[in-house]
Structure 1
Amino acid sequence: MECSPGLAAVLLALVLLFIVKKLFSKTGNLPPGPRPLPVIGNLLQLKSREIHLPILELSKKYGPVYTLYMGPKPAVVLCGFQAVKEALVDNGDKFSGRAEFPIIDLTSKGYGIAFSNGERWKELRRFSLSTLRNFGMGKRSIEERIQEEIQYLLDVFQETNGSLFRPAFFIRRSISNVICSVLFGRRYEYTDPKLQTLLDLVAENLRRVDNIWVQLYNFIPSILNYIPGPHHKLTENYQAQLDYAEAIVREHEATLDPSSPRDYVDTFLIKMQQEGENPHSEFNLPNLLSSALDIFFAGQESTSSTLGYGLLILMKYPNIKKKVQAEIEDVIGRTRRPCMEDRAKMPYTEAVIHEVMRFMDFLPLGAPHAVTVDTIFRGYHLPKGTVILPVLHSVLYDPTMFRRPHEFDPEHFLDQNGSFKKCEGFMAFSAGKRICPGEGLARMELFLYLTSILQKFDIRCDVPPEDIDLSPEYSGFGKMTPTFQMRFSPILESKCSS
């Protein structure tokens, strides 16, 4: 018996209504938020290159904790220091999950550190933290590797003879070489095509994450799997990165000396050998490749952008630059190269570096978390797996933490005696269990690079300081240093900083 067209239409409408209700039904008692549209949720309300701005605007109406639908999937948004701290720090274990999105299936497939969960994440994170922290293995420490790479960069700046040029290319490659030295035990010439290939692949995928096709894939993967589009390029691109890393791993396997590990890859391979009889071991090739790429991306993109942004800021505020250089002159002098022991004696420089990281706000939204168990948070019931969006921008620019959050002011990190002071609101590396494992390395790099550059060069550009634009560029969900030109004049040939 066939249905009439009218009855068929009614049945179809009922089915669609059931699907929509199913998609947007709340399990538990999630916080209130803006009403979502079918399928696309609140995406239309987030149409902005600076996606954190509409999210912050919504928090003015719905409070520091509210629910936002990213397509049909609810996410609980946390805004402001108190809400983020209460979740990530005070309830660190419960909020230590990484949100699972279909887009991960196109890239790491849950391997590695950044997007893994459970025991895999715990083991790989513990191993990576230990390896990066205690990298006194081999003949050189991490600090020595950084100092060596800095000298190559200073030589490039010296060869410019004070002419106007764009430093971003060389800064990015120099920072990349530090990570390559730690991970792979080698550095590349700045014009090396292999390094250029890896950097291009990373940059391209960072841009593609912001593509509408990639975002839609998170909501309707079963359909988009069969439709050609840029989202498939994401898979090809990431596989090329995996192939790049695997070629290096194979070279290490052929020359591995278990008694003398040279780098992160060697240390991981040794761990793989030690656990070779354990069928449940997380120390395997897929986790090695993805972990290495995770560390490379996290250490390269954020640190190179932050260093470039710091130089731009110091050209805009020459008085701050003078104070940093005066502290360098007083503590280090002009001949001895800076070392990490100097940092404790240089509170103003340390405050400036922290303020650069705070002011730049590299990942305004942070990385999405998930609750690992059913959780009661501020009276709301968050079922296990609920996506959590801790908006780091709202912490780094929280007026209750920083008295002039929208101004660049090193005084945010100095007490009344001029000593460096820590601030709970400084969450540039996130906070809690998921804090960036490369935090120590990044801090070391920023201090050594900045002090080494300002020790040898006066930096300036041909634009009056008041006309320098600090507005960042956006790539994917992160901020990038705007393109700029500058001059590096040898400090001994410069009469004074202006």
Structure 2
Amino acid sequence: MESRFWPISQLEKPNVTMLLAVLVTFLLIIDLVRKRRPRNFPPGPQLFPLVGTIVDLRNFASENYTVILTARYGNIFSVQFGGLTFVVVSGYQMVKEALVHQAEIFADRPHIPFCLSVFSTGLISSNGHIWRQQRKFVLATLKNTVVSFESKVQEESRYLVEAMEEEKGQPFDPHYKINSAVSNIICSITFGNRFDYHDSNFQELLHLLAETLLLIGSFWGQVKPDCCFCNFTLLLSFFFLHKFKGDTNSYFHEENLLCSTLDLFLTGTETTATAIRWALLYMATYPHIQGRKVQLEIDAVIGQCRQPTMEDKEHMPYTSAVLSEVLRMGNVVPLGVPRMSTNDTTLAGFHVPKGTTLMTSLTSIMFDKNVWETPDTFNPEHFLENGQYRRREAFLPFSAGKRACPGEQLARTELFIFFTALLQKFTFQAPSATVLSFAFTISLTRCPKPFQLCALPRC
């Protein structure tokens, strides 16, 4: 009988295919086991191999995603992106429990690859001894510059007013001018001088900062962090060209200072500038609040001749209430900067292991219908009581706990002086036949989409 033999090539092909199928299946099973939620861990959307829960969270950037998931799972739930697991807490009491009552446990930043590679020696992402020394240095620096800082903001507000006067009441996008003004404050602190708004190096800096923020806040920037490194290198080269003016102490070397400076630019420029843009957008949309209330108070307390000061703020409850309502409705940082647990702990009865990344939904606080009388409406009365400014406990635009924003007071100074200086000199309104929109985009901040205003001189 004749023997039949199959060619080796025909035998190998199905075997290789089968081997690959078995290998892929094995890896998927391992991945699922590795990603499986620990016992008594906060619940969340269904986990999928490789991508975690991202298939179930296609609209993750949407402002309503925490609302949807909170309604489904409660004020604490978990989500997963690739190899990163997050526990998200919502509502003032839950956020306060994590950031204030358990401040020591949630004092670290998580080990996110991009942040470790770029910001590990700066204030935002460092931990332990490095973070404590950086924070001590930054707080001391900010404290020592408080008096001179106010005068720098006043000086820059004059340049901003002049820049808007150049528009002669015609429609323009305020983004460029406001970002330039706020960035110049950080430049004055770190480099000792400001830049002309049209300086090419200065504009390149602003462009790189904006692009870096967009990349960091994107999914692609997290799964492929090296796409951000080019911008980071260019930013550092800019800082090397403009050395710090003033003394440094032995705890810090050049890399620490450079990263802390980059932190100041990324957090201090974008957040404050975005808040001011929201403020002008709301004033143009609500002319009765702008004209009959805010400008009336400015005229009564400050007048038209002198510049605003922080001392004026105590006598301007309505303007203060408007700015607080801008921070609430603008919701500039919807999710607080991530924290990481340094020990095993418990939140709302759920086990949170050491090393878990915690996200705080500030959106859930800012629009809580159990806290705010009209949560979805721009209403400065939220911060007024008997004609006086009313502090609200459930109002955390600068987060809370040990890693709350160290520049909160400086940000409030910029916001108040820039805002009052602009409304002292201009009335802002929508261009003819234009309907203003509160549509927004999200990177690391919640920004209004590009819009145009007319700045009409008041006198």
TM normalised by structure 2 equals 0.91
Aligned residue runs from structure 1 range 246-395, under 5 A: 246-249=240-243, 252=244, 266-267=246-247, 270-271=248-249, 275=250, 281=251, 283-322=252-291, 323-395=293-365
Query: Which aligned segments of 4 or more residues in structure 1 are displaced greater than 6 angstroms?
Result: 4-7
* CA–CA separation in structure 1 for the residues paired with 2:457 and 2:190: 33
Q: For residue 387 of structure 2, what is the aligned residue in structure 1?
A: 418
Change (3 A) 1:6 1:128: closer
Q: For residue 41 of structure 1, what is the aligned residue in structure 2?
A: 52
* CA–CA separation in structure 1 for the residues paired with 2:98 and 2:16: 53
Change (3 A) 1:463 1:422: farther
**Contact 2:428/2:453, CA 8 A, preserved across alignment:** yes
**Contact 2:28/2:50, CA 8 A, preserved across alignment:** no
Q: For residue 430 of structure 1, what is the aligned residue in structure 2?
A: 399
Does residue 141 of structure 2 align to residue 131 of structure 1?
yes
Change (3 A) 1:405 1:442: same
Q: For residue 234 of structure 1, what is the aligned residue in structure 2?
A: 228
* CA–CA separation in structure 2 for the residues paired with 1:289 and 1:157: 32
Aligned residue runs from structure 1 range 461-480, under 5 A: 461-463=430-432, 467-472=435-440, 474-480=441-447
Write the letter of the residue equivalent to 2:176: F
Q: For residue 93 of structure 1, what is the aligned residue in structure 2?
A: 104
Q: Which runs of 5+ in 1 are unaligned?
A: 218-230, 253-261, 276-280, 493-498
Does residue 452 of structure 2 align to residue 491 of structure 1?
no
> How far 1:236 sits from its partner (Å)?
1.2
Does residue 203 of structure 2 align to residue 206 of structure 1?
no
> How far 1:142 sits from its partner (Å)?
0.4
Write the letter of the residue equivalent to 1:360: G
Give the 3-state SS of the residue equivalent to 2:101 in structure 1. coil
**Contact 1:327/1:346, CA 8 A, preserved across alignment:** yes
* CA–CA separation in structure 2 for the residues paired with 1:160 and 1:73: 48
Write the letter of the residue equivalent to 2:436: I
* CA–CA separation in structure 1 for the residues paired with 2:278 and 2:421: 16
Q: Which runs of 5+ in 2 are unaligned?
A: 1-11
> How far 1:437 sits from its partner (Å)?
1.3
Count of residue correspondences: 446
Give the 3-state SS of the residue equivalent to 1:234 in structure 2. helix
Q: For residue 9 of structure 2, what is the aligned residue in structure 1?
A: none
> How far 1:164 sits from its partner (Å)?
2.4
Give the 3-state SS of the residue equivalent to 1:89 in structure 2. helix
**Contact 2:109/2:338, CA 8 A, preserved across alignment:** yes
Does residue 80 of structure 2 align to residue 69 of structure 1?
yes
Q: For residue 113 of structure 1, what is the aligned residue in structure 2?
A: 123
Q: For residue 243 of structure 1, what is the aligned residue in structure 2?
A: 237
* CA–CA separation in structure 1 for the residues paired with 2:325 and 2:339: 25
**Contact 2:121/2:256, CA 8 A, preserved across alignment:** yes
Q: C-alpha offsets along residues 332-373 of structure 1, whole Å, 9 cap, x if unaligned? A: 111121101000111100000010011111121221111122
Q: For residue 56 of structure 1, what is the aligned residue in structure 2?
A: 67
> How far 1:10 sits from its partner (Å)?
8.4
Q: What is the RMSD computed on CA atoms of the aligned residues?
A: 2.3
Give the 3-state SS of the residue equivalent to 1:441 in structure 2. helix
Give the 3-state SS of the residue equivalent to 1:203 in structure 2. helix
The range that moved more, 200-209 or 336-345, is 200-209
